[in-house]
Amino acid sequence: MIAADGAQSRIRRALGVTMLGKENVYDSVNVLLEADLRPWTEHRPSALYFVEHPRIKATFLTIDGVKRWGFLVNTFSAYGYTAADFTPERTLELIRMAAGVPDLSVKILGIVPWTASARGAEDYRHGRIFLAGDAAHEMPPTGGFGLNTGVQDVQNLAWKLAGVLQGWAAPALLDTYDAERQPLGRWITEQSLANSISMGRLGGQTPGFARPEFLNEQGMIFGATYESAAIVPDGTPAPMYANPVTDYTPSARPGGRAPHAWLERGGTRVSTIDLVGRRFTLFASGDAWRTAAAQLATRLPLDVITIDAGSSVAGDVFRDVDAAWHTLYGVEPGGAVLVRPDGHVAWRSLAPKAGAAESTAARASALRAALGAITGGAAR
């Protein structure tokens, strides 16, 4: 079972899951409304408009940019309000005050009070039950990571479930879901809370100014890295960043997201990202890997993308435009990179071992060992 039943998950509570972090860090109200705000917004289009007012801290959220908007009141108790105060009449008054338009025509479609928390499950797996999404981690919406993180949870879990159910992966592979996603979910939750704190949403009526990391989290998003039994280290050191939240350097080091690089076939450019689908994808320098992978491809979902650095290649071979793939993926001619169905690098062969440059058997052995490690031995 995948328990994705939200922040108030009944399944999580029935399991008695321990939650780590902070509960009820600030209160809010969500309002869905219709109003024409174009006279005040179309000359400066944005997704979010933050309001700092002596009587209210709020946000207008663009939905269609014309007449439908979200209105989010933050930390209302610090301004003397309670959830019961948000009647349609009082809410209309607050919307007009926040917009600075006393006679603004507004149609209120819904009012929902809620409380933000910043906490996550101590364990994402409980026997045959796997927590995902808000059931696994509750985070303030400051930065917009809640839905993204939930989708990534299931993207990580779905192919592993498929492997176990279809028989090409051992049940132990499912343990790597918690090992990979729980630390990352906790870190993202902490960063969301830090965003909220910097914007003054946790205390008092002092205007808050977003920290430099807010909406600048390239390192956290693209640099997300896993460590588990389903990742085979290649001995290379982890990159060091001054700020891992904002800083990102594309890399195909095992555990990280396979980065974008342009390849070309038949005069058409294609991104490496678009070549990764629901199966394992082996990006291989030279065609010898295709032969080595042939017997394994009959037992588990595996596609081979052959890459050549030559100026003119034919058939199913992709050309490495300006040697960008070899450089970005950090492999020499004859090397290979195995990408999982969730887009993360599982294994990398930087270059053929000495004396094995032309050995298909050596490549097949290396690939078999790597896939066996990733799938818990079932792919051996």
Q: What is the pLDDT of residue 323?
A: 84
Residue pair 331/261 in contact by the 8 Å Cβ criterion? no
Q: What is the pLDDT of residue 11?
A: 98
Tokens, residue 325 = 């793939």
Instruction: Answer positive or negative: Cα dihedral of 227, 233, 235, 240.
Output: negative
- pLDDT tens-digit readout, 167-218: 999 999 999 999 999 999 999 999 999 999 998 888 765 666 889 999 999 9
- pLDDT tens-digit readout, 270-324: 999 999 999 999 999 988 898 889 878 888 899 999 998 655 555 578 999 888 9
- pLDDT tens-digit readout, 43-77: 999 999 999 899 999 999 999 988 999 999 989 99
Residue pair 189/198 in contact by the 8 Å Cβ criterion? no
Q: What is the pLDDT of residue 6?
A: 96
Residue pair 8/136 in contact by the 8 Å Cβ criterion? no
Q: Which domains can be identified in the chain, with CATH numbers?
A: 1-216 (3.50.50.60), 262-374 (3.40.30.120)
Q: Return d(Cα 281, Cα 274) in angstroms, integer.
A: 11
Residue pair 195/142 in contact by the 8 Å Cβ criterion? yes
Is this structure's pTM higher than 0.95?
no
